[in-house]
């Protein structure tokens, strides 16, 4: 199913419009992102997949208001983003650097709520629920450095969930954990997404991960970056690592995404930003 273009504008939670980012460096200008336009509707789970260096982190920094785009704009519920919006949370790749090592797990998760002035009772409830959602109820008094990499990333996810964002941005959050943990965390994201109804933009360079996780996959070209293709993932809503990944449709979709990325690498520009997707007869 394709999103209805006429509805997409009015229902969009997040709109990226003509976004361009050029870094000015001593060695000259670096055009990281050339021209990106897409909408995310409320409650959507979209993956953005693109090769390393294609500007994924740059895009997320612009969306989350941490960096101003060179051209274009980001709108959240129709309002232009000019700094970190309250309704957004970001989970970064480097969990090791995003948690405070001197604070216990519980305090790390609670910190943004404290900063928001959420009352103590409500904070406790939100932190308890978030730790339970990520399966960390048993380690609230540990320090991050006492936990495995996968557990640390769970803490970062719990912190984002406790904050109750409307939009959750994730920048290759599982790139540094082992394969088994990664599979568990992927499933956790789908569970959390379903439970909270949050809008998720999940960035990855991993094609299989994008197809397994997403309801939609936005494929980036390599640098200078544009959208190569934007496809709906018509896999069953209930996914599991064994069965979903062995479905013929999964193979077709991953093949299609892979092919598009290869084409992009060879410089084939998309005919149109949005197409009908993989093998839709």
Site for Mg ion in 18-77 (CB under 5 A): 56-57
Q: How far is the CB of 174 from ligand ADP (least distance, A)?
A: 14
Residue 176 in contact with Mg ion, rule: CB under 5 A: no
Which does residue 190 bind out of Mg ion, ligand ADP, none, counting CB within 5 to 8 angstroms by kind?
Answer: none
Q: Which of 15, 38, 39, 58 binds ligand ADP (CB under 6 A)?
A: 58
**Choices 55-63, 83-91, 101-109, 267-275 (CB under 6 A): range interacting with ligand ADP:** 55-63
- Please say which residue, 33 or 253, places its beta carbon nearer to Mg ion: 33
- What are the beta bridge partners of residue 15? 39, 75
Site for ligand ADP in 218-237 (CB under 6 A): 223
Residue 23 in contact with ligand ADP, rule: CB under 6 A: yes
Which does residue 54 bind out of ligand ADP, Mg ion, none, counting CB within 5 to 8 angstroms by kind?
Answer: ligand ADP
Q: How far is the CB of 225 from Mg ion (least distance, A)?
A: 12
Q: How far is the CB of 250 from Mg ion (least distance, A)?
A: 25
């Amino acid at each position: 199913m394709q999103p209805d273009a006429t509805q997409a504008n009015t229902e969009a939670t997040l709109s990226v419009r003509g976004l361009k980012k050029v870094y000015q460096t001593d060695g000259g200008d670096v055009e990281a992102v050339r021209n990106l336009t897409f909408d995310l509707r409320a409650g959507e789970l979209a993956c953005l997949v693109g090769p390393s260096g294609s500007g994924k982190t740059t895009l997320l920094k612009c969306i989350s208001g941490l960096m101003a785009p060179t051209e274009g704009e980001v709108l959240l519920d129709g309002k232009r983003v000019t700094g970190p919006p309250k309704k957004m949370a970001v989970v970064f790749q480097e969990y090791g650097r995003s948690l405070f090592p001197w604070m216990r797990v519980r305090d790390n998760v609670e910190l943004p709520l404290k900063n928001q002035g959420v009352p103590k009772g409500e904070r406790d409830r939100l932190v308890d629920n978030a730790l339970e959602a990520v399966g960390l109820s048993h380690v609230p008094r540990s320090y991050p450095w006492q936990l495995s990499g996968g557990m640390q990333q769970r803490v970062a996810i719990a912190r984002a969930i406790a904050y109750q964002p409307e939009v959750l941005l994730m920048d290759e959050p599982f790139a540094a954990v082992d394969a088994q943990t990664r599979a568990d965390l992927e499933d956790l994201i789908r569970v959390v997404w379903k439970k909270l109804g949050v809008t998720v933009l999940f960035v990855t360079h991993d094609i299989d991960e994008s197809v397994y996780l997403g309801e939609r996959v936005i494929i980036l070209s390599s640098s200078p970056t544009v959208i190569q293709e934007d496809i709906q993932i018509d896999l069953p809503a209930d996914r599991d690592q064994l069965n979903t990944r062995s479905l013929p449709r999964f193979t077709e979709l991953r093949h299609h995404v892979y092919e598009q990325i290869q084409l992009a690498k060879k410089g084939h520009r998309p005919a149109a930003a949005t197409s009908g997707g993989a093998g839709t007869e």
